[in-house]
Structure 1
Amino acid sequence: MGRIKILPEEIASKIAAGEVIQRPESVVKELIENSIDAGAKNITVILKDAGKALVQVIDDGCGMSEDDAVIAFERHATSKIETYEDLENIRTLGFRGEALASIAAVAQVEMKTRTQEDELATLVKIEGGKIIEISKTSHPIGTSIAVKNLFFNTPARRNFLKSNYTEFKHAYEAFIRFAIAYPEISFELISDDELISKFEATDFETRIKQIFGDEFFKTLIPVDEKTEYVSIYGFISKPEFSRKTKADQFIFLNRRYIINRSINHAVYNAYEHLIDKGNFPSFILMILIDPRHVDINVHPSKLEVKFDDEQGIYNFVRAVVKHSLSKFNLIPEIEIEPSGGIKLHPPSEIEEIKQKLINLTEPIKEKIQKEQQYSLEFLTSSFPEAMTAIQAKEDIKKVEKISQEIQSAISQSVEERGEEGISFMQIHNKYIIAQIKTGIMIIDQHVAHERILYERALDSLNSRSPFTQQLLFPQTIEVTPADMAVVKEIKEHLESLGFDLRIFGKSTIILYGVPPEVKQGSEKKIFLEIIELYRENSNAEPNLSVRENLAKAFACKTAIKAGDKLTPEEIQVLIDQLFLTRNPYVCPHGRPIIVKIPIEELDRKFGRI
C-alpha cells in the first residue's frame, strides 16, 4: 500500500472546523450572521462560562423546515449561493455553508426551528458531527441553536482557550459589532443568567448612543458621502479626543465587520498633524459598495477583503474624513488662569456657516483669492472647508457637490464686518494679532508661513512643474558622503521643488537655481539645512514618504523666522495665503498656528463678569 491516505471524514471535519471555529466568539459570530440572513428582528445571545459551556442564539427569523434543518449541518450546505456567479455578488453575511457543520463537529448542538407554515418545530441534536435525534417539539417561529461544551472532543483545542474574562471579552465584542451594524434589529446578551446588554431597535445614531453612551457620542464628528461607486457614513472622533490605543475603531463593509489596514491608514492620514504622534482616532465607518467590486472570499473568518480598486478606496476614505474634519473649529482657545498662567483649551465646534459652498472648481478658487474684503473670522471657519472639499474632488474625482452659492456667504460676511476692515499687528516680530468679533486671534508667523510653504511644496512635488529662480553666480557646495547619498536619492524631488543642481565628483554640488521662496544670500545654508533635516526626519519617522519628508524640511528651513519684522503688506499677504491652505490650524509638525482668546475670557480677567 502507498504512504498517502485519504483522511477519515471525522478527522477532516475537525480540521476544517479549526479554520472556522477558533473560540466561543467564532460561534457567536457565525450564529448571529445566520440569524440576520434569516431576516430576524430580535436576536438573543445566551452565554454560560464565557461560551465554553454554552453559546445559544435565539432569533425570530424565517426558520427552517425539517428537511432543511437536517441538511443544514452538512458541509457546504447553504441557501445563500448556487452558482459561481453568485459567489461574485454576495449580499448575505454567510455563504460558505461551513459554519454549522464546523460547529457540530466540535460541540454538542441542539437546534429548534420552525417556519410560519409549520405547526410544530423541528428538533435536531448533533454530537461531534453525528446526528443523534430528529423529532418534533414546540417552539415559536424562528430558530434557537444551543452549542454546548465547545471542543469537548478536541481537548487540546479546549486547553488553548483563555480565561473566562478574555473569552467573554471576545464574544462581547463580536456581539457589539453586529449591534452597531444592524440598529434596526433588537439585540440582547445574557451571560451566566445576568442581562449584560439590551438594545431596542432604533436608528444608527441612537444605536451608537445606546452602546457607547451620550458622552462618547459628543466627541464624534459625523461622516457622510455618497457616490455612484462607493458611499460612506458613520462617525469619527474629534482630534482632541484621540487615544493612545486603537480601541473603538470599527470598519464595516456592506454592514460586515472587516479588518483592513489600508482603510485604517487612510483615516489616520486624514487627521494629518491634528493628533499627537502615537495617538489614534476612534471611528465607526460604514462603507457601501457593489459586492461585485470586492472579494470577501479571502479567508474563512471573512474578516479580510480585497477591493478591485484599493487605491481608489484609500483616497476616497481619506478625502471624506478630511472633509468632515474641516467642518469643525480646530483653533484652540486660551484661558488666563488666576495665577497668570495660560491654559490651552481643545477646539470647540464651529457654527455651521449659513451658506455652504457649491461648484468648487478652479475658477471659483481664483474668485476667492481675488476677494479681499471678507472678515478673518469667516475665513477661519469657511476656507478650510472649501479648500478641503477641492482636495476631495481631486482625490476621489467625483464627490457630490455641496449646497448653495458662495457669493452670498461672502457678502454676508462683508456686511457683518462693516466698512472699517480688520487690522493686524505684529508683536515681538514673532506673533500677529487681530481683533475678531468673538475676541482676539493670535497667529504664529513662522508656523503659519511653514504651513503655506509645506502645501506649496507638496503641490510642486506632485505636479512636477517647478518654478526656479536662476542664480546670477552659481554656488559650489561641499557635502559629506552621507549628505551626498541623500542628495542622490532625492535629486529628482529636489528638482521638482525648484532646485537646479549638478553633482560633480564624490562631494561637490553646484547650485544653479533655487525655488523663489529661498532667501537671497542664504541659498547654500538653506540647502544644507534641508538635507540635514530630511535625514533627521528619516531617522525619526522611517515610514514618512520622501515627498512629505522633503516638503516638511523645505517648509521649515525657508519659512519666515521668529524675529523677522514684517510690513503691513507682508502680514496681509501671509494671512491671505494661510487661509487658502487646506489646513490652516497646525504646522506640518503638529504645532498650533492660531489660538483665540475669547472676549469673555478678557472680561473675566478684568472683573467685568
Structure 2
Amino acid sequence: MIRLLPDAVANQIAAGEVIQRPSSAIKELVENAVDSGATDVRIVVKDAGKTMIQVIDNGSGMSETDARMAFERHATSKIRNAEDLFSLHTMGFRGEALPSICAISEVDVRTRREGDKLGTHLIIAGSRVECQEPCVCDKGTVITVKKLFFNTPARRKFLKSDSVELSNIVREFERMALVNNHIRMGLDTGTRTVDLRAGSFKQRIIGLWKSGLDNQLLPINVETSLVKIEGFVSRPEFARRRNPLQFLIANGRNMRHPYFHKAIVGCYESLIAPDTQPCYFLKFTVDPQSVDVNRSPTKDDIKFEYEQQIWPILQAAVKAALGRFSAVPSIDFTSDAIPVRPLKEGELPKEPVIDMPEDYNPFKTDYERKPSASNWESLYENFSRGRKETGQVMTEAPMMSDMMMSDMQKKEVAEVQDETLFEKELKDELAPMCMQYASKYIITSSRHGLMIIDQHRAHVKILYEEFMRRVKNMEVVSQSVMFPEALVLDESQRAALLEIEDDLRRLGFSLEYESGETWMITSLPAMLKNGNPKDIVLRILDSVTEDSANYGLDARGEVSIASRAALMMARSSAIRRGEKLSAVEMEHLCAELFALPDPALTPNGNRVFCLLDQSRLDSLFQ
C-alpha cells in the first residue's frame, strides 16, 4: 500500500512549499547566482513573471554534468554532510529549488565555465529533459523560466493580478539587493529598469529608496563576542504611519524576527507617536553554529541560540545611536512650509470648489444650523469642533417658538421629530446613558444585556457605509486643492497607480505626473474632512498589492477600488482610541451605528461591539 512517489510528483509537492509565486522563483534563482560568486546579476520579467523570468549572472557557471545534476532533487554543491547544516555560509543548501521550478514550468539554461570553450544548453519542461547540447555563450549562467505553473492550473489560477505579483517581485528584489550590496544588480520589469551599482550598505539603501533617506539615518556599529550589529536606524521625526522600511539581516540572509523587532521599536517608545513605526536596516553577524536557518523552506525564519543575550546589546546600540546624535524632532527652516507647484505655460490657476449647502447662511446661529437626523456629515461636525472652539460639552438649546422659526427650521425640526419605527425601537433598545471607559470603549445597556462598543471601529463602520452609499448613488463630489501635495511613489506604487488611476478619478482623487518619481495630488473627495490626503492615497495604492481578505466586498463579491478607498478614508478620518467623547457624542455615535443594517463587524471582519447577556453577567458573580 505504501509506494515511493515519482520524482515529478515529489518535485511538484516541494514546489508548493518553495515556489509559491513568481517572486519565490526569482528569489531562489538569484540566491544560486550569488552562491556561484557572481558580481553582476540581472533579472528580466515579463507579465509580472507569469510569462517569463530570466536571471543572468557572471558567476562560475556549470559543466555539462553539473548542469544536468543541478535539476535532480537534493543535488547541491553547498553541503556534503549533516554537520554542514550547522555552519552554512551559502544562501541555498537544500537542493530543492531548481527541481521544484522545472517541475512547474519550462526551463531553459545556458551556462559556461571560465576555462571552457563551449557552454551547455539544457531545456527541461515539467521535470522532463527535452534537450541538452553544446552552445556558445558568455561565462556564467542564464536561466529562463517560462509558463510558470503551466501544468498546475489550480495554483496558477490563485495568482494575483499583475500589479500585485509585480509588487511582490519588486519587494523581493529590494530585499535581495539590500543583502548583496557588494554585487551589481538590475531589474527590468518591462515598464521600468533599475540598475544598482555595487557600493556600501548606505549607498545601496539610498539607491533603492530615493526618498531623502540620506539625512534620516543614524549609524549603528557595535561588536561583542556574541554578535556584531551594524547598519542604520531612522531618526524619530521620520517614523512612518504606513509602509515602514524594516529589514533584519543575519549572516547575509534576510530574516523575520519579532523578538528583535520589539527590542528596536521599544527604544522609540517615548519618541514617536503610538501609531507610527521607525525604519531600520540592521545586519547581524554571528557564529553560523549559533543559528538555525533550516526551519522553513523560505529560510527566513532564523533561530538564534543566544537571542536573549543579544536583546540588551541590540537595545543598548539603538539607544546609544539615538542619544549620540541627539535624535529629537527638529524644525527644518530651510524647506518651504507649503510645497507650491509653479504653473505651466498657458495654465490658469484652478478655482477651489467649496462644498456647502445651498441654504447656507453665515449669519445664522449654531443652533439654527443644527442638522437634521438624516444629514450624516453635519451630525458629526461637532465631534471635534465643539470641544476645540468652546472647550465645553455640547448642550441642547431651548425650544424655539413657531413664531421665531423660519420655514426651513420648521422643516428640520419636523424631520428630527418624525422618527421611524426602527429608530423608536432603537431608542428603547439602548439606554439614554452612555459612559466611556479608558477613552476607547463606550458602555451602554440594552434589553439583551450590557453592550461594550469600540468607538474607533464603530466610527470606521459608519464612515465606510456612508462613503459606499455615496459611491453607489453617484454622489461623490471632487474638490480641487489650493496647494497640490507632492507624492513620491516607488516602483510597486507606480504600477498600482497605472492600474487604478481611472477608478481613483471616479472616486474624486486626481493625480498629475510632475517629474521623476513625483506626482501631485490636485483634487480630493469633498467629504474627506480630517484625513491626511497623502497618507490616504498611499494606503490605497499599497492596498492594491495586499490580500483582498483585508477589505470589504462590493455587490459582486469582489474587492473594488471603492471599498479599498472607503476603508482607508474611514480609518484615517475616524475618531481615535484615546479621544474623550461627550455624552451627546456617544449617543449620536451609537444611534448612527445601530441604524446600519449590519453594525456588528467592520468591513474587514473585526468585531465592533460585544454583548454581555444576563446569563454571562450572572455567571461572573456565581
- TM superposition score category, shorter chain reference: 0.5 to 0.7
Deviation at 1:182, TM superposition (A): 1.6
Q: Secondary structure at the match of 2:84?
A: helix
Q: 2:160 aligns with which of 150, 162, 177?
A: 162
Residue in structure 2 matched with residue 197 of structure 1 by the alignment: 194
Residue in structure 2 matched with residue 313 of structure 1 by the alignment: 310
Q: 1:270 aligns with which of 267, 271, 284?
A: 267
Mapping 1:535-574, distance limit 5 Å = none
Deviation at 1:195, TM superposition (A): 4.3
Distance 1:332 1:249, change over 3 A: closer
Deviation at 1:328, TM superposition (A): 2.3
Residue in structure 1 matched with residue 22 of structure 2 by the alignment: 24
Residue in structure 2 matched with residue 82 of structure 1 by the alignment: 80
> Whole-Å Cα distance in 1 between the matches of residues 321 and 186 of structure 2?
33
Residue in structure 1 matched with residue 242 of structure 2 by the alignment: 245
> Whole-Å Cα distance in 2 between the matches of residues 176 and 324 of structure 1?
25
Q: Secondary structure at the match of 1:188?
A: strand
> Whole-Å Cα distance in 2 between the matches of residues 191 and 110 of structure 1?
19
| AA of the residue aligned to 2:31 | E
Structure 2 contact 236–329 (Cα < 8 Å) conserved: no
Q: Secondary structure at the match of 2:324?
A: coil
| AA of the residue aligned to 1:41 | T
Residue in structure 2 matched with residue 108 of structure 1 by the alignment: 106
Is residue 121 of structure 2 the alignment partner of residue 123 of structure 1? yes
Structure 2 contact 236–328 (Cα < 8 Å) conserved: no
> Whole-Å Cα distance in 2 between the matches of residues 67 and 314 of structure 1?
47
Residue in structure 2 matched with residue 299 of structure 1 by the alignment: 296
| AA of the residue aligned to 2:172 | A
Unaligned ranges ≥5, structure 1: 337-342, 344-534, 541-609
Mapping 1:200-599, distance limit 5 Å = 200-213=197-210, 215-331=212-328
Residue in structure 1 matched with residue 55 of structure 2 by the alignment: 57
Structure 1 residues 212-221 or 256-265, which shifts more? Answer: 212-221
Deviation at 1:314, TM superposition (A): 2.1
| AA of the residue aligned to 1:31 | L
Is residue 55 of structure 2 the alignment partner of residue 33 of structure 1? no
Structure 2 contact 237–329 (Cα < 8 Å) conserved: no
Structure 1 contact 242–279 (Cα < 8 Å) conserved: yes
Q: Deviations over 1:515-537 (max 9, x none)?
A: xxxxxxxxxxxxxxxxxxxx969
Deviation at 1:332, TM superposition (A): 5.2
Distance 1:32 1:20, change over 3 A: same
Deviation at 1:212, TM superposition (A): 1.4
Structure 1 contact 246–281 (Cα < 8 Å) conserved: no
Structure 1 residues 264-273 or 54-63, which shifts more? Answer: 264-273
Q: Secondary structure at the match of 1:287?
A: strand
Residue in structure 2 matched with residue 527 of structure 1 by the alignment: none
Residue in structure 1 matched with residue 135 of structure 2 by the alignment: 137
> Whole-Å Cα distance in 1 between the matches of residues 85 and 331 of structure 2?
57
Deviation at 1:136, TM superposition (A): 0.8
Deviation at 1:6, TM superposition (A): 3.9
Q: Secondary structure at the match of 2:44?
A: strand
| AA of the residue aligned to 1:150 | L
Deviation at 1:334, TM superposition (A): 8.2
| AA of the residue aligned to 1:289 | V
Distance 1:107 1:334, change over 3 A: closer
Q: 1:94 aligns with which of 89, 92, 95?
A: 92
Structure 2 contact 46–53 (Cα < 8 Å) conserved: yes
Q: Secondary structure at the match of 2:171?
A: helix
Distance 1:331 1:216, change over 3 A: closer
| AA of the residue aligned to 1:82 | R
The sequence identity of aligned pairs, in percent, is 41
Structure 1 contact 43–188 (Cα < 8 Å) conserved: yes
Q: Deviations over 1:39-88 (max 9, x none)?
A: 00110000000001111100000000000000000000000000111111
> Whole-Å Cα distance in 2 between the matches of residues 75 and 231 of structure 1?
36
Distance 1:538 1:189, change over 3 A: same
Structure 1 contact 246–282 (Cα < 8 Å) conserved: no
Is residue 17 of structure 2 the alignment partner of residue 15 of structure 1? no
> Whole-Å Cα distance in 1 between the matches of residues 314 and 32 of structure 2?
30
Count the aligned residue pairs: 341
Structure 1 contact 107–148 (Cα < 8 Å) conserved: yes
> Whole-Å Cα distance in 1 between the matches of residues 330 and 305 of structure 2?
45
Q: Secondary structure at the match of 2:32?
A: helix
Residue in structure 1 matched with residue 370 of structure 2 by the alignment: none
> Whole-Å Cα distance in 1 between the matches of residues 11 and 39 of structure 2?
32
Q: Deviations over 1:582-604 (max 9, x none)?
A: xxxxxxxxxxxxxxxxxxxxxxx
Q: Secondary structure at the match of 1:145?
A: strand
> Whole-Å Cα distance in 2 between the matches of residues 137 and 210 of structure 1?
36
Distance 1:330 1:188, change over 3 A: closer
> Whole-Å Cα distance in 1 between the matches of residues 123 and 331 of structure 2?
68
Structure 1 contact 24–167 (Cα < 8 Å) conserved: yes
Q: Secondary structure at the match of 1:173?
A: helix
Q: Secondary structure at the match of 1:101?
A: helix
Distance 1:332 1:298, change over 3 A: closer
Is residue 172 of structure 2 the alignment partner of residue 174 of structure 1? yes
> Whole-Å Cα distance in 1 between the matches of residues 302 and 240 of structure 2?
27
> Whole-Å Cα distance in 1 between the matches of residues 42 and 28 of structure 2?
14
| AA of the residue aligned to 1:37 | D
Structure 2 contact 112–120 (Cα < 8 Å) conserved: yes
> Whole-Å Cα distance in 2 between the matches of residues 275 and 215 of structure 1?
19
Deviation at 1:539, TM superposition (A): 10
- Normalising to structure 2: TM-score of the pair? 0.53
> Whole-Å Cα distance in 2 between the matches of residues 238 and 335 of structure 1?
14
> Whole-Å Cα distance in 2 between the matches of residues 309 and 334 of structure 1?
41
| AA of the residue aligned to 2:255 | I
Distance 1:327 1:134, change over 3 A: same
Residue in structure 1 matched with residue 181 of structure 2 by the alignment: 183
Deviation at 1:295, TM superposition (A): 0.1
Distance 1:272 1:55, change over 3 A: same
Deviation at 1:91, TM superposition (A): 0.5
| AA of the residue aligned to 2:276 | N
Deviation at 1:319, TM superposition (A): 1.7
> Whole-Å Cα distance in 1 between the matches of residues 80 and 330 of structure 2?
61
Structure 1 contact 108–147 (Cα < 8 Å) conserved: yes
> Whole-Å Cα distance in 1 between the matches of residues 312 and 441 of structure 2?
27
Residue in structure 2 matched with residue 352 of structure 1 by the alignment: none
> Whole-Å Cα distance in 1 between the matches of residues 181 and 229 of structure 2?
16
Deviation at 1:303, TM superposition (A): 0.9
> Whole-Å Cα distance in 2 between the matches of residues 42 and 257 of structure 1?
20
Residue in structure 2 matched with residue 368 of structure 1 by the alignment: none
Unaligned ranges ≥5, structure 2: 338-436, 443-622
Distance 1:333 1:248, change over 3 A: closer
> Whole-Å Cα distance in 2 between the matches of residues 10 and 143 of structure 1?
24
Deviation at 1:327, TM superposition (A): 1.1
